[in-house]
């Protein structure tokens, strides 16, 4: 922790030696970079979310205004290089600009904005890991809580009830697995921890209702006395509960239909200090660009999702540990402190470069 904080402090010092820097995050501030006060600083970073291609973004009536606003920044960051490419394509299509794809920059009216990938991450070590029970104790407590025998494999999903998270799709995948591999009945349980959110909106309320209906249907088809293959825990879980759930499970399913990054995947990896467990991860989550050792799936393909869950069940212990060690090493080093520091360092380098260019022009 101290080493990480030191890295950020050094980055902040480097920025202070050049010029103050404003950092904004998400589209709530998409137009704020055009603020005259921000322009005076000449070191503004906006971290946004742009996973859509220009065909999809073209539907938005305010597409040009949003792109113009974001380009008021000196540096514009996204979760992945793929998202950067999408933004460059959108800028090229919807506004008058000069695109430098080699430098990855956009220039409008002599103002240049650098486009950079900054994959957001989590703290390392996570605060929720402090004082956590051992893996074996977490497994025992989880089985006692849900009345499960020791030989049952536990898959978990942890999200809020949001239609982009693919909750229904993973329940369907459990159903498909048990249809095609009936020997897993009684040996596999999926626990979905889902926090109610925006329940006054029809789309979110309907999602929760449909999840309950689908879980009941799957349990009726495959369950029996004392056995429910799908169990919904519909309530808010604090971070310590989330990490205890991760530590007690055998696998985690992240089946986002559309996600900028998805930190649940990285939290599961951080929770597994036993170097065990399998992560099943949607290809539509930004985290899949980093956590290549997860089982990457298309959540719209029910059979493929079921096959991935089956592969996680059958995976040898040595392979599980090899995959988890590589993912833990990545999350450890590319943590949230490094994420913040890299943006500050890039801002400082940009300010220093601009200063040199101004002094060179003055001497001429």
DSSP 198-240: STTSHHHHHHHHHHHHHHHHHHHHH-BTTB-SEEEEES---HH
Helix axes 81-94, 63-70, angle to 10 degrees: 120
Phi, psi at 65, each rounded to 5°: -65, -45
DSSP states along 67-131: HHHHTTSSEEEESSHHHHHHHHHHHHHHS--EEETTTTEEEETTEEEEEEE------SS-GGGTT
Per-residue pLDDT reduced to its tens digit, 337-347 = 999 888 888 88
Give the residue carrying structure tokens 């494999």: 153
> Which pLDDT belongs to residue 279?
98
* 231, 195 Cβ separation under 8 angstroms: no
Residue 327 in tokens = 């993912």
Per-residue pLDDT reduced to its tens digit, 6-62 = 655 655 555 455 556 667 776 666 776 655 555 555 556 776 666 678 888 899 999
Q: Which of 228, 230, 220 is nearest to 172 (CA)?
A: 230
Cα first-last separation, the chain: 48
Sketch out the chain's domains with CATH numbers.
Answer: 2-121+337-363 (3.40.50.2000), 132-330 (3.40.50.2000)
Helix (H, G, I), strand (E, B) or coil at 21: coil
* 255, 297 Cβ separation under 8 angstroms: yes
* 252, 265 Cβ separation under 8 angstroms: yes
Question: How far apart, in whole angstroms, are the C-alpha atoms of residue 263 and residue 45?
Answer: 22
Per-residue pLDDT reduced to its tens digit, 54-99 = 888 899 999 999 898 888 888 899 999 999 999 999 999 999 999 9
DSSP H or E run through 191: strand 188-195
Which pLDDT tens digits describe the chain residue by residue (364 residues)? 455 656 556 555 554 555 566 677 766 667 766 555 555 555 567 766 666 788 888 999 999 998 988 888 888 999 999 999 999 999 999 999 999 999 999 999 988 999 999 999 999 999 999 999 999 999 999 999 999 999 999 999 999 888 899 999 999 999 999 999 999 999 999 999 998 887 677 888 899 999 999 999 999 999 999 999 999 999 999 999 999 999 999 999 999 998 889 999 999 999 999 999 999 999 999 999 999 999 999 999 999 999 999 999 999 999 999 999 999 999 999 999 999 888 888 888 887 777 787 777 655 5
Question: How far apart, in whole angstroms, are the C-alpha atoms of residue 71 and residue 291?
Answer: 30
pTM, to two decimals: 0.88
CA torsion, points 348, 354, 360, 363, in degrees to nearest 10? -100
> Which pLDDT belongs to residue 122?
97
Question: How far apart, in whole angstroms, are the C-alpha atoms of residue 55 and residue 89?
Answer: 10
Give the residue carrying structure tokens 């029910």: 302
DSSP state of 29: G
Helix (H, G, I), strand (E, B) or coil at 298: coil
* 311, 319 Cβ separation under 8 angstroms: no
Q: Which of 113, 97, 96 is nearest to 105 (CA)?
A: 113
């Amino acid at each position: 922790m101290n080493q990480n904080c030191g890295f950020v402090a050094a980055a902040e010092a480097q920025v202070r030696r050049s010029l103050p820097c404003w950092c904004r995050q998400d589209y709530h501030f998409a137009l704020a970079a055009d603020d005259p006060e921000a322009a005076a600083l000449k070191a503004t970073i906006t971290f946004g979310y742009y996973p859509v291609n220009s065909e999809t973004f073209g539907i938005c009536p305010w597409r040009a205004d949003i792109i113009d606003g974001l380009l008021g920044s000196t540096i514009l960051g996204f979760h992945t290089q793929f998202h950067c490419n999408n933004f460059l394509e959108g800028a090229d299509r919807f506004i008058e600009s000069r695109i430098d794809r080699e430098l990855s920059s956009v220039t409008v009216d002599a103002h240049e904005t650098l486009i950079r990938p900054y994959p957001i991450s989590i703290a390392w070590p996570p605060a929720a890991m402090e004082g956590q029970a051992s893996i074996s104790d977490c497994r025992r407590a989880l089985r006692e809580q849900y009345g499960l025998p020791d030989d049952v494999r536990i898959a978990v999903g942890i999200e809020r009830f949001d239609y982009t998270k693919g909750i229904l799709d993973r329940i369907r995948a459990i159903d498909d697995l048990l249809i095609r591999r009936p020997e897993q009945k009684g040996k596999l349980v999926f626990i979905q921890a889902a926090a109610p959110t925006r329940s006054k909106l029809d789309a979110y309320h309907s999602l929760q209702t449909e999840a309950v209906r689908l879980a009941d249907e799957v349990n009726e088809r495959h369950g029996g006395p004392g056995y429910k293959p799908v169990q919904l825990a519909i309530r808010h879980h604090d971070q310590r509960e989330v990490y205890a759930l991760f530590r007690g499970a055998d696998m985690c399913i992240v089946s986002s239909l559309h996600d900028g990054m998805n930190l649940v995947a990285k939290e599961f990896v951080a929770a597994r200090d036993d170097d065990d467990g399998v992560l099943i991860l949607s290809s539509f989550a930004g985290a899949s660009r980093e956590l290549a050792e997860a089982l990457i799936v298309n959540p719209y393909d029910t059979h493929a999702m079921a096959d991935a869950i089956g592969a996680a069940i059958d995976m040898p212990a040595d392979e599980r540990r090899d995959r988890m060690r590589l993912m833990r090493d990545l999350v450890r080093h590319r943590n949230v402190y490094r994420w913040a520091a890299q943006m500050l360092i890039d801002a400082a380098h940009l300010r220093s470069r601009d200063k040199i260019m101004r002094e060179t022009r003055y001497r001429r």
